[in-house]
Amino acid sequence: MDSFEIILAKDTDETLRKISIFLKQRGWAYKGTTKQSAMFESNWKLGDWTITINGWHGQGVGSRNYGDIRLIFDVFLIRGYKTIDLWQHQNLASLPERVTMGSLPTFKYLNTMAFQKVKEFEVQVPR
């Protein structure tokens, strides 16, 4: 990994850690993370509600060559089997395939937005 990928991986891991702490403090149960190809999916549950986070895990080759990038790119709020709300990077295809240190603020912003959306989604769940 180059320095850009290391910095972004640390930022993404820290964001996921903050999300996990935030949700656990509010009673959500972590249901695990699965990996497939170049993507990951993490799930937290509270009753019949689920918050799902997807992103690139930085190991493996997917349809796009993003190398070792670890990044969150969408968050779902699900009740039962129905998506209630969704945040995702609106133009994922526009993310540069060959990323550079200059892309770092954009990618870190996506992680920040993901955490903000988790907070917004969490308060939608009735207690």
User: What is the C-alpha to C-alpha distance for residues 96 and 47, in angstroms, rounded to an integer?
Assistant: 39
- Amino acid identity, residue 102? G
Q: Number of folded domains in the chain?
A: 1
pLDDT at 16: 95
pLDDT at 63: 46
pLDDT at 19: 97
Using DSSP bridges, classify how beta strands 70-79 and 39-46 pair: parallel, antiparallel or unpaired. unpaired
pLDDT at 9: 86
pLDDT at 73: 85
Per the structure, the complete domain to which residue 56 belongs is given by 3-124
pLDDT at 97: 54
Tell the residue number behind the tokens 């709300």, with chain if given. 85
Tens-level pLDDT at each residue, the chain (127 residues): 568 778 888 999 999 999 999 999 999 999 999 988 778 999 999 999 999 999 888 765 554 555 567 888 899 999 999 999 999 876 555 555 555 556 778 788 888 999 999 999 999 999 8
DSSP-assigned letters across all residues of 38-69: TEEEEEEEETTEEEEEEEEESSS--SS--TT-
pTM for the predicted model, two decimal places: 0.85
